[in-house]
Every structure is written in C-alpha cells, then in structure tokens.
Amino acid sequence: MTSAISSHPALSQTMQGGDMLQADEVVAMLRLHELGWGSKRLSKEFGCARNTVRRYLREGGVAPFKRPARRSAFDGLDDWLRERFFRHDGNADVIRQELASEHGIIIGLRSVELRVRQWRRELKAQKRATVRFETAPGHQMQIDFGDTKVWIGDERVRIHLFVGTLGYSRRMHARASLRERQADWFAGMEGAFLRFGGVPAEVLIDNAKALVEHHDPVTREVRFNARLHAFARYWGFTPRACA
C-alpha cells in the first residue's frame, strides 16, 4: 500500500520538502488515516510537518486559504456608526467629524462613505415608509435638543442645540447653549416665538426630564413640570408630550 501511494506522480512534487499537498494527496492521507495510520507516520510518508497532517485530518480535506482579518479604524464601532448614520440622515461627513471629536479617529470622507453604505438601502426604505404628520399653519411647533462639539478658542467644547420646528412650514429656529437645563428650554422657546413672530397653539415636547415629570407609555398619562405649566399659560400655548 505504501509503495503504491509513493509512486503517485503528484506525490513526487510534495515529498521534496514543502508542506503544501495536492488535493489527491490529501485524499490518500485521509484514507490511510481511516486504516489506522497515525499523524507521525503520515507526516513521514507525505514529507510534511505533523501539524500540517493534523490540520488536514481536523478539517477533513484540503484547507482553504484564510485571508488574515485586516484591522480597521472602525473596529468595535459598528453600533455607534449605525446609530450616528440614522441620526444624521446618512450624512457621512458629520459622522467623519464626530469620529474625530469623540474617538480621535482622523479618516477620509470616502472611507466613511464606504463603511456606512451598507445601511443606505435601509435608510431609503425608512424614508419611503414614513408618512409626514401634517398640522395646520400656526397649530404646532416641535422642540428638541441635540449636541455637538465645537472649537471655542483653543478648547474643544460640547454645546447643546435647542431646535424648534414649525409643523406646517418646517421653518426652524436653533439656539446654542452650554447646558440643557429647564431655563435653556424656556429661552429656546421664547427665542423661537420672537423669531417666528407668534406663538403656536401647541408645543410638542420630546419627554425631556426638565419639562415632563411622568409619562405612562401605556395609558399616555402625562404630568408636566409646574414651571412649564406657568410658562405655557404666560405665552398662551398647550404643551404636548410625544408618544
């Protein structure tokens, strides 16, 4: 049996010292192993290392080449990238800036675009499925806070941005502040009223803790802060909490 396998033309190339075996050699190795040959005897017969034999036996045949995983600047940031991609409506340049400010990763825009393109089809599908909530002119303004980092002098500072958006025209008013306190919410709303030249009938609030003390998601029972009630009475609008 040994002489028959050794005379195979493909074996003569392998047994000259290399560990890379031909496919038919590996088949022969597996057959001999089934007959009781051990890894030491097989390595001697096929002229390869015992670890090579063990690998072929473990994988049950020719082991495909496995390209080593390349490290990337985005390693470990998949969830963060996905959240920022949808938060910023697919704007890769904003994500690139936040990678630099929050993670210290300086990278080109094209690299970011390639990394997030897997979610673009999902974003387009969400936009097609979204039905815009329409309100009458002067009926409602939606308010919320966001945040970002900017350079003030030589210091990178996190700032908070109040944004008020009219439900009908989608006109926006933004105001920057260093905090997100109740007074900053009130200042943002007052600035919007003055900017738009009037007060809407309703102001829709995204359940901010500074304004909403309790909101039951099942019963939709809402308890607003007493100072918000006083502020709303003064300006003549009705506060609403998002579902």
- Burial class from Cβ neighbours inside 10 Å (0-12, 13-18, 19+) for residue 162 reads buried
Query: Residue 20 has what pLDDT?
Result: 66
| pTM: predicted TM-score of the whole model, two decimal places | 0.47
10 and 49 in a common domain: yes
32 and 115 in a common domain: no
Instruction: Establish if 135 belongs to a structural domain.
Output: no
Q: Residue 51 sits in a domain of what CATH number?
A: 1.10.10
110 and 185 in a common domain: no
89 and 110 in a common domain: yes
Instruction: Establish if 73 belongs to a structural domain.
Output: no
201 and 157 in a common domain: yes
Summarised one tens digit per residue, pLDDT across range 145-183 is: 988 888 888 888 999 999 999 998 889 999 999 999 999
Could you write out the DSSP letters of every residue in the chain? -HHHHHT-HHHHHHTTS-SPPPHHHHHHHHHHHHTT--HHHHHHHHTS-HHHHHHHHHHTSPPPP-PPPPP-TTTT-HHHHHHHHHHTTT-HHHHHHHHHHHH-----HHHHHHHHGGGHHHHHHHHHHPPP----TTTEEEEEEEEEEEEETTEEEEEEEEEEEETTT--EEEEEES---HHHHHHHHHHHHHHHTS--SEEEE---TTTEEEE-TTT--EEE-HHHHHHHHHHT-EEEE--
88 and 39 in a common domain: no
Which of 129, 151, 167 finishes a domain? Answer: 129
Q: Structural domain tally of the chain?
A: 3
Summarised one tens digit per residue, pLDDT across range 11-43 is: 333 333 446 677 778 888 888 888 889 888 888
29 and 100 in a common domain: no
152 and 234 in a common domain: yes
Instruction: Establish if 64 belongs to a structural domain.
Output: no
For residue 17, the enclosing domain spans 2-59
Query: Residue 132 has what pLDDT?
Result: 61
221 and 147 in a common domain: yes
84 and 53 in a common domain: no
Instruction: Establish if 72 belongs to a structural domain.
Output: no
219 and 182 in a common domain: yes
48 and 11 in a common domain: yes
Instruction: Establish if 195 belongs to a structural domain.
Output: yes
Instruction: Establish if 66 belongs to a structural domain.
Output: no
Q: Identify the segments of the chain with pLDDT beneath 50.
A: 1-18
Instruction: Establish if 71 belongs to a structural domain.
Output: no
Which of 27, 59, 91 finishes a domain? Answer: 59
Q: Residue 148 sits in a domain of what CATH number?
A: 3.30.420.10
Which of 129, 148, 172 finishes a domain? Answer: 129
